[in-house]
Amino acid sequence: MSETKAPSWLRVVDVVFGLVAVFASVVVLVNTGLAVLTLVLILSFALLIHGISRVVSGGFGKIFLGLLRGLLVVVGLVGIVLSVTVLVFPTVGVYTLAFMLSVVFLADGIGRIARGITRIERS
């Protein structure tokens, strides 16, 4: 079997992207707060785009019924307002994520305790 090498431009792209990935990983490992903030901002921007698409779908989507069109517009506007709020005040997004995770773990813990107390072994 003969081996063929990848084109040199493709190898250069691999090396450059590899260096970028290593650099980004080191930055995240050194400063985890920056990673969380970046994630929140990326998700907020995605929510902004999603909200705009919902408003456009509800406003111009003739295939939807009137009530659904109105709901799409409202949901889109709420998404836009929330995303802009987080883009302006990123710590709000971080605190909201932490709060939501805490509530989920609290509910899960209470459920596990209740299940553990009420579980009866039958022979």
pLDDT in tens, the chain (123 residues): 566 776 787 778 888 888 888 887 888 788 887 888 888 888 899 999 999 998 988 888 777 787 888 898 999 999 999 999 999 998 888 888 888 888 888 988 888 888 778 766 555
Could you tell me if residue 80 is inside a domain?
A: yes
The pLDDT of residue 118 is 78
Domain-located, residue 11:
no
Is 53 within a domain?
Answer: yes
Q: Is residue 102 part of a domain?
A: yes
Q: So what's the pLDDT on residue 112?
A: 83
Domain count of the fold of the chain:
1
Is-above-0.85 flag for pTM?
no
What mean pLDDT is reported for the chain? Answer: 84
Positive or negative torsion for Cα 59, 60, 66, 71: negative
In a domain, 9, yes or no: no
Q: Assess if residue 89 is contained within a domain.
A: yes
Please enumerate in sequence order all residues whose Cβ is within 8 A of that of 69, keeping only pairs 6 or more positions apart, or say none: 58, 59, 61
* 2: in domain: no
Please tell me the predicted confidence (pLDDT) of residue 78.
94
Domain that holds residue 79: 32-118
Query: Among 43, 46, 27, which Cα is nearest to 35's?
Result: 27
Q: Does some domain include residue 5?
A: no
